[in-house]
Amino acid sequence: MKVMKFGGTSVGKPHRMHEVANLITRDEESKIVVLSALSGTTNALVEISESLLRGDRQAAKAQIDTLHAHYKSFVLELLQQSSSREKANEVLNEHFEFLTIILKISFSQALNKDILAQGELLSTKLFSIYLDEIKVNHVLLPALDFMTIDSYDEPQVGTIKVKLAQLLNKHKDKKIFITQGYISRNAKGEVDNLKRGGSDYSASLIAAAVNASVCEIWTDIDGMHNSDPRIVEKTFAIEQLSFDEAAELAYFGAKILHPASIWPAQFYNVPVRLLNTMQPDAKGTLISEKAGSVGVKAVAAKDGITAIRVKSSRMLLAYGFLRKVFEVFEKHRTSIDMITTSEVAVSVTIDDDVHLPEISKELEAFGTVEVDTNQTIVSIVGNEIAETKDVMKQIFDALEPIPVRMVCYGGSRHNVSLLIARADKEITLQLLNKGLFKL
């Protein structure tokens, strides 16, 4: 069995959805097809939620109506038969009625999650109606029946595996299963999600749970590029990456993959393929245990980073100081990305600043605390990069005009990370592309 995940642009136009149907019927292997919401939908749902949070029901109503109109014309192009159009309009009415009802309910986080779930519910139901119309035998599996997260918002492959196996067992004669990416049920049994871009994570979790032959991530580009193609002009697709390399790139900002989407596939050793729906026969990127080659492969950047420096003369020759500092972050369930130390100071970075005020206050007990917001981590990733000759020289030669706030080298054998101001990100990526890839 394999997993095929199609992202927002891959299902965002009726003719794209038709193409997805072609792609999933090209071979005989059983498959679980994971769909995102149509492109733009989750953003629109976020905006509806924000209007409701502000108490601006009029704006929310207008946004809901615009979205409904978009889906009505989508259905007209997607489907040809009047019976399937009728079914699709019933689905639209059901979901848009729900959105209209919530206009009258007071806003809560649980309601917000319900709103955000509508996109994937709609895309999968519409796709299923289209498959019926063209007579492709399939089953629609509700992700909310098997994709669960625990009280720390962590998905547990073991639980997902049991639930999914039970569902699949009911349809032993079927070969094509369609399900929603992104959405999940939390420990309280409420509708929740795996955070923005989470359909990749759903696909990898499902692939791990069913021990898939491959987890295919179909998107709008021909694989993982050596740098962010939205910022750097000359980039190229990488043919092969190790799980470690791909995990670092995803975690450090390569938008093509959700930050956590590699670990399930890696842990259960399921190869991942990044493929392009617009060029289905292009090679794409294969992510597996093998790295293919040694040295710099790609650069990624992650924004929204906060750097915290704790300076204390008490750190001098003191043991236990770092433990106390780390305990503060642990207490507030805030993970640290980069760390550098000197004899009298420690600097760390975090990407989640929800508890920053409490963290800063508690750190003040140990010394002077300086906080820099709006920073960016730039990660240079490649198998055995730390042992590759000249790599640091090339990086620093390329970045001569850029003030670098922190450098992490040697923590991982596959990554060198730099902290820079967000304002310097574009130029940094461009200079690294020239310096490291000679492009």
Q: How many CB atoms lie within 10 A of CB 355?
A: 16
197 contributes a contact to ligand ASP by CB under 6 A: yes
215 contributes a contact to ligand ASP by CB under 6 A: no
**119 contact, one of ligand ADP, ligand ASP, Mg ion, none, CB 5-8 Å limit per kind:** ligand ASP
198 contributes a contact to ligand ASP by CB under 6 A: yes
In order, the DSSP letters of 233-283 are SS--B-SEEEHHHHHHHHHTT-TTS-TTSSHHHHHTT--EEEEETTSTTS-
- C-alpha neighbours within 13 Å on the C-beta side of residue 215: 29
7 contributes a contact to ligand ASP by CB under 6 A: yes
Residues between 239 and 268 with contacts to ligand ASP, criterion CB under 6 A = none
Q: Which of 19, 31, 32, 36 binds ligand ADP (CB under 6 A)?
A: 36
Considering only the stretches 5-13, 94-102, 147-155, 228-236, report the one whose residues sit in contact with Mg ion under the rule CB under 5 A: 5-13
Q: How many CB atoms lie within 10 A of CB 65?
A: 13
12 contributes a contact to ligand ASP by CB under 6 A: no
247 contributes a contact to ligand ADP by CB under 6 A: no
Mode of pairing for the β-strands spanning 285-288 and 240-242: parallel
Q: Which helix (H) or strand (E) holds 380?
A: strand 368-381
197 contributes a contact to Mg ion by CB under 5 A: yes
**37 contact, one of ligand ASP, Mg ion, ligand ADP, none, CB 5-8 Å limit per kind:** ligand ASP
Residue 155 φ/ψ, nearest 5 degrees: -75, 145
254 contributes a contact to ligand ADP by CB under 6 A: yes
Residue 356, Cβ density class (10 Å: 0-12 exposed, 13-18 middle, ≥19 buried): middle
Q: Which of 12, 14, 119, 284 binds ligand ASP (CB under 6 A)?
A: 119
- 299, amino acid identity: V
Q: How far is the CB of 99 from ligand ADP (least distance, A)?
A: 22
Residues between 373 and 432 with contacts to Mg ion, criterion CB under 5 A = none
Tokens standing for residue 96:
């848009």
CA 337, CA 294: separation in Å to the nearest integer?
Answer: 24
Q: Which of 18, 57, 171, 196 binds ligand ASP (CB under 6 A)?
A: 196
Give 289's DSSP letter: S
19 contributes a contact to ligand ADP by CB under 6 A: no
Binding residues for ligand ADP, rule CB under 6 A, total 18
45 contributes a contact to ligand ADP by CB under 6 A: no
Binding site for ligand ADP (CB under 6 A): 7-10, 36, 197, 219-221, 224-225, 228-230, 254-256, 298
